Amino acid sequence: MPHSVSQDDADQTQDLLEQAGHQTQESEFFNPIPPGYVRGRHKYVVVFGTVMSGLGKGIFSSSLAKLIKDKGLRVAPIKMEGYLNIDSGTLNPYRHGEVFVLDDGLETDMDLGTYERMLDQDLTRDNYVTSGQIYRNVLDKERSGGYLGRDVQMIPHVTGEVKYKLRELAVKQRADVVFVEVGGTVGDHENAFYIEALRQLAFEEGPGSVCYVALTYIIEPPALGEQKSKAAQLGLNKLMEAGIQPHMVACRCQNPVEQGAKEKVAMFSNVPVERVFSMHDRPSIYMIPTEMREAGVDRHILTMLNLHERVNVTQEDRAREKWLSFVNKVTAPRKHKARIGLTGKYASLRDAYASIDKAIEHCATMMDADIEMVWIDVTKEDAPPIAQQLADVDGVIVPGGFGHRGTEAKIECVRYCRENKVPYLGICLGFQMAVVEFARNVCGLNDAVSSEFAPESPNRVIDILPEQKKIEGLGGNMRLGGKDVLIKPTTLAANLYYNTRAGKHNRHEPFNIRERFRHRFEVDPQYIETLESHGLIFSGRHPAQPIMQVLELPQPGSVNAEANAYFQSQGGHPYFIGAQFHPELLSRPVDPAPMFMGLVAAAVQHANPDLDPKHIAPRWLPDPEKDKPVTV
């Protein structure tokens, strides 16, 4: 087993492996080491899944990584997927949930969102790898002669590429601990080479360098009334057959895992019972780090990896206090209630909108509100009219998406919210549909549409800009990743961001924020003047190009309301805003997304009209006195 190798043997093996890089192809060792890598400086925690997928490896791994980060250590998570796709950009949400976009533009699966939220840490393309990426790298090297004429094989070359990827991540992000989540389940064909590479990693790095954690499942059949560990035992045996001796086991179960079940798992996995952790269902995933700490999971990791000397106790105390304050709010009874409708074409699968769901949870916790999400499928042909479906909601989200299906229903959602003054947040496609609806029903452009759905229509208010049309290939003309957005002062957008994300700026001057994008179509610049002259406010735009990125309707009390044509005819709207970007991707538990904060506050106000708005969320309210333009 990896932890039974002596330090002298490991040192001798490492010397041979490093020498192999300078030897001929006759050596069977293949151990590429990235520049700057120092063995012993970087440690690894590897999380495998057994029995079945979907048990929450990402939640467990990110929670454990948070505990280690709270102690002052640098952590770098990585998700290793078995599928051959290069990224997650073309995956159907019904198969893998939402597509999460990193700041550098890589499209990943939803687990990267879990890591970013739990760690409050921006990740990069180095934190995500697929089999497709690994194979492509190996084949590119083979074509360029990188293997000195050797026959290229799964072992050692493909496994060597995996190890190189992990070590390169450790160097680039200067990680004390790299947290490796292996996608899928032990026994799957597609992740077998990952498991073999990670077995080799422990052998090469030496004792005290790699900690293996197995996530398994304890079955609790209602008809039997007791917990059964046999499936867990068989799954763990499968892992050990691959040469992996787990150091720790996490047991998923509906209820707390009983001592007897823990003892059976310990017996059949050679893991001390004190290292068998009950990862049962909790009211919130954000409770898991605290309960892992109470169970001593973090201390076991520090001991096995010899990391106690790197702990910053003062920082840990501060981080623990801050997190406990948030968790206590998560579990406490709420003062306010409201219902928010999400109108999408994947509404039957909540994972398709996981980041939106979490953003609402973050904001509701901060505002002491109990928010009921109403999931409305806009693609059902036999569904009641939109007005009927939205009659009892206090706020509406029209999320992003691609394709024509359901868009007319989304436009009706926008119209209902605009005319009935229901708080509205449009995201990406929801932003575009708000432009189309306003153009049709306020500006009189009855045939207004997006060129994505009607490329021959004369009034394509949403279109691909000329410079984008020059780029060919699916996804080639997408705007992906973090981009700057210039926010116009004395607007709703400015109020939302000024006290949260903008830093210290003169509130009478424009300022930049950074948000993440994933879209292809824009507001056609030739329609901007028409839209604005009828009262639509573009409060966020590209810093240098005529690309509109935030829209809104004037609020009651807005300093611009008296001169606004729409305001004069319709009156102010309590909360109507749209973003071409995806604000949910940057929402964090202790730093919620400002646009969602505004929506939740407005929804609570809508549900409780007699409630003093200042007792809900004063940050999002317009302040005519402070926002009054300065006379020079």
Q: Is-catalytic flag, 584?
A: yes
* CA-based nearest residue to 106, from 91, 121, 126: 126
Alpha carbon distance 50, 53 (integer Å): 7
Catalytic residue among 251, 363, 417, 428: 428
Return left, alpha or beta for 458; rule: phi > 0 is left, psi -120 to 50 is alpha, else beta: alpha
Give SS3 for 523.
strand
Q: 32 preceded by cis ω (within 30°)? A: no
Alpha carbon distance 51, 185 (integer Å): 7
| Residues 540 and 550: beta-carbon distance below 8 Å | yes
Write a three-state SS string for 407-460: HHHHHHHHHHHHHHCCCEEEECHHHHHHHHHHHHHCCCCCCCEECCCCCCCCCE
Alpha carbon distance 353, 342 (integer Å): 9
* CA-based nearest residue to 581, from 540, 528, 620, 621: 540
Task: Count CB-CB contacts under 10 A for residue 249.
Answer: 27
| Residues 213 and 23: beta-carbon distance below 8 Å | no
Q: Between vectors from CA 604 to CA 603 and to CA 605, what angle results, nearest 5°?
A: 90
Give SS3 for 243.
coil
User: Which phi and psi (to 5°) does residue 30 adopt?
Assistant: -140, 105
Q: Which helix (H) or strand (E) holds 288?
A: helix 288-294
- Exposure of 456 by Cβ count < 10 A (0-12 exposed, 13-18 middle, 19+ buried)? exposed
Alpha carbon distance 455, 555 (integer Å): 34
Alpha carbon distance 146, 150 (integer Å): 9
Q: Is-catalytic flag, 428?
A: yes
Residues with a known catalytic role: 428, 582, 584
